[in-house]
Amino acid sequence: MRITLIKPNIGRMEHSLYVDEGRMEPLQLGVLAGMTPADVEVELVDDRIEAIPYERPTDLAAITVETFTARRAYEIAAGYRAQGVPVVMGGMHATLLPQEVGRHADAVCIGDAEPVWKHILEDARRGVLRPLYEGTCDLPQPASLTRRDLFRGKGYLPITLLQFSRGCRYTCRFCATSRFFGGRHLVRRIDEVLREIDAQERKLLFFVDDNIVASPESAKELFRELIPLKMRWVSQGSLDMVNDGELMRLMADSGCLGHVMGFESLRPENLRVMGKTPNSGAGSRYQHELAVLREYGLQIWAAFTLGHDGDTLESIRGILDFALESRFAYAAFNILMPYPNTPWYHELAAAGRLLYDGCWWLHPDYRFNHAAFRPRGMSAEALTEAAFQVRARFNSPGALLRRFIGLQGNLLSLYRVAQFLIYSRLFRRELFKKQGMRFGLG
């Protein structure tokens, strides 16, 4: 039996397929490949860099679907099904909208795929795929290693992706991850994480956890085990980590370079409405949190969301000023997206504030990084333009120099200097390439 694992692209720019220069390993597909029986031949196809090989014989096409890639994923599925190849789809979007995804696939997997993956393969081998598979696991990636040989030669960034925990105990109203996991936070066995680190070759790791410190005591156990390994690593974490001195010390000692962190907004009323609990005790300028993060030399990728009901064009410009004053290593200024089936999506739908017929991810007129709802304090067009200008100004050459000079974390070593300069330029290029991109190729 032969299966093809597929990572879809987002879509195309004006005249060509988008090629993601900042692409990372599709970890979820490598994990499933690692759980696949040895007598099944596996091919990994990454639509971000290579053509879909419809002409190559395969017995099953397995496609991971995110909301931003749904339109392209359905195009790929149609290509395989037209040749009689069965298609199974899973991932975040499949769990959020299984009925929609089911219209484009022979089988849909909702929830965690690990508990049902071998059942899917066995049913496919026998030609009796069920329309729906539902997986719920209490232990992520049990007793298996990621198939990293499938990543070789595809030009991914030189950083190894792996996972320690999954989900987040917070339930922010706009967050698709919160909807997917329902407030659950699952922790992997530390000995298996260490085995996976030992099985790969790099010294730079990215724990793709939704919130690596959601269980502080478990995180401390991991960090203690990482210290003798002399690794460098990054992850995603919540701001309330700064309130635990032992956690911060172990994190720094274990080789942490920094985190993606959701600051989201400077307005307390926005944080309250969105349910951003980890930020609720912070002041409007996050002075205490930033002081602690700088004390431990952590580089921060600050994530902000724009378009809350309490936002104005002036407050959005204030977020840019705050990010420049804080000299974050990197920052993302994302327009709030109404992800399907989240509480915020249903609230907007009930108020008649959704654009693109409430289905922006499939609408032919929607463009990447554009507002998909009617904000309260401005027009959708004004929000789109303001967000783009904030991104462009933060990533301008002058702002890059200002951030570099003032960043304690960047100046701690030549390694950090090099990382900052390389990735800042890369992210700037990607910013302009992706703005206004179409979803899918059709």
Domain boundary among 102, 135, 168: 135
Q: For strand 299-306 and strand 232-237, is the pairing parallel, antiparallel, or unpaired?
A: unpaired
DSSP SS3 for 339:
coil
Amino acid, single-letter form, for residue 118: K
pLDDT in tens, 124-141: 999 999 999 999 888 889
pLDDT of residue 142: 87
Mean pLDDT (whole number) for 290-313: 93
Degrees, nearest 5: CA angle 79-83-84: 115
Rounded to whole angstroms, how far apart are CA atoms 61 and 149?
19
412 pLDDT band (50/70/90 cuts)? Answer: low
Tally of residues, the chain: 442
> What's 15's DSSP letter?
S
One domain, residues 289 and 406: yes
| 373 within some domain | no
| 217 within some domain | yes
**87-90, strands of its sheet edge to edge:** 41-46, 2-7, 60-64, 87-90, 107-111, 132-135
Domain boundary among 94, 114, 135: 135
241 pLDDT more than 80: yes
Which string of DSSP letters, residue by residue, matches 383-434?
HHHHHHHHHHHHTSHHHHHHHHHH-TGGGG-HHHHHHHHHHHHHHHHHHHHH
pTM: 0.94
Residue 342 token pair = 């989240």
Domain boundary among 79, 102, 135: 135
* Residues in Cβ contact with 374 at an 8 Å cutoff, skipping those fewer than 6 apart: 353, 354, 355, 380
Beta bridge partners of 301: 260, 330
pLDDT of residue 15: 64
One domain, residues 128 and 167: no
Amino acid, single-letter form, for residue 195: R
pLDDT of residue 424: 87
The enclosing domain of 98 has a CATH number of 3.40.50.280
| Structural domains of the chain, count | 2
What b-and-e string marks burial along 88-106, b requiring 16 or more CB atoms within 10 Å of the CB? bbbbbbbbbbbebbbebbb
411 pLDDT band (50/70/90 cuts)? Answer: low
